[in-house]
Amino acid sequence: MLTPPAINLAPPAQDRLGVLSSTLPVVLAAPQVVLHGDRVATVAEVWAAEPWPHEGWDRRIHFFDGTERTLNWMALLDALNFCFWGESPRPRALERGTVPAAPPDPDSIPRWRVQWRGTWYNGYNALAVALRRAVEAGMPLWDAGYLARLDEATLAAILQPDPDANGTAVPIPLFAERLANAREVGRVLLAQYDGQFANVITAAQGDAVALALHIAAHFPSFDDVATWRGPAGSDPPQTVALLKRAQILVADIASAFAGQGWGAFTNLAELTAFADYKVPQLLRRLGILDYAPDLAARIDRLELIPPGSPDEIAIRAATVWGVEWLRRALAARGMAVAPAAIDYRLWLAGQQTHAQDRPYHRTRTMYY
């Protein structure tokens, strides 16, 4: 739902991804999440007066040799790029009428972590480090045949968490899904693309949108869509496309190759936000996104929000449109900024915690 002042709600005339078109009915009807148009305008005004943060592929943590090997490694990276948080403390039951306690310190929530070259990493950065150091240890993670035959023990060793000073090590969640996804990358590349992700890019003719759709169509673990039945739950089912990891793989390749060579895509600006955990948390910090009281209390108590539930779909749909409205508000101020760049700015800000931060929603899923 949207509060005034409203921003143009129409999806673009050409929405080949189908993400904006299919998420819009959710945003307009779902009561669980509210987007505040006045805050969109305020944030856009502030951002328009500030330097935009630099986007770049961090070669300190990523493998990059500039060849087709890099592309295969990146396909593996984003096939495994989801859900890094450990088990949350059990939420306490609240008596009727009581106010929830302050949420736990985000730093106290267990996360899968690795240490490399004297620095601790968690989340996505830890995954990049784990896969890079595996390559440096002699594992050919760019080889489709190797990935198709990857065994459980080898992947477990690659993703082994490092213990902290207290000997605590949080295992990476959803390990079985990660193993299946890694094997899928190798298997599909071998069966359809002569073992090279470069041929996937060629099949999409360098079109960013076509590539994202191609990835989702041919690599099933990237096919991030949901079914929504409306606020009452009894309306005819509607397919909601989100395509987080398919889109982010395209954006990552463009960034890694600095828009040249394999990363020289057309239509990058048609990609949407990558609806995950951190971006809605940052939209909430900025006052753009708000939750209905019951959902807010559940998120703040770290209750699990089931994947594919109306609440989860509403959160992700609002994330997509919160970023899209920021894009439109910036465009009205003379700034042409792609949704992926807005998403990156929000994600980057989310790497620094603030005292006023509320927790991000907890959904166990392989899609983000």
Show which residues are catalytic. Answer: 276
Q: Which two tokens stand for residue 66?
A: 């500039």
Structure letter (DSSP) for residue 336: -
The stretches of 137-194 forming alpha helices (DSSP H) are 144-148, 152-158, 175-192
* Cα within 13 Å of Cα(151), Cβ side: 2
SS3 state at 31: coil
Residue 296 CA to residue 281 CA, distance in Å, equals 11
Specify the residue for token string 């041919």: 218
**Phi, psi at 362, each rounded to 5°:** -110, 110
Residue 206 CA to residue 179 CA, distance in Å, equals 29
Q: State how beta strands 33-36 and 2-3 pair.
A: parallel
| Cα end-to-end distance, the chain, whole Å | 23
SS3 state at 289: strand
Residue 228 CA to residue 233 CA, distance in Å, equals 8
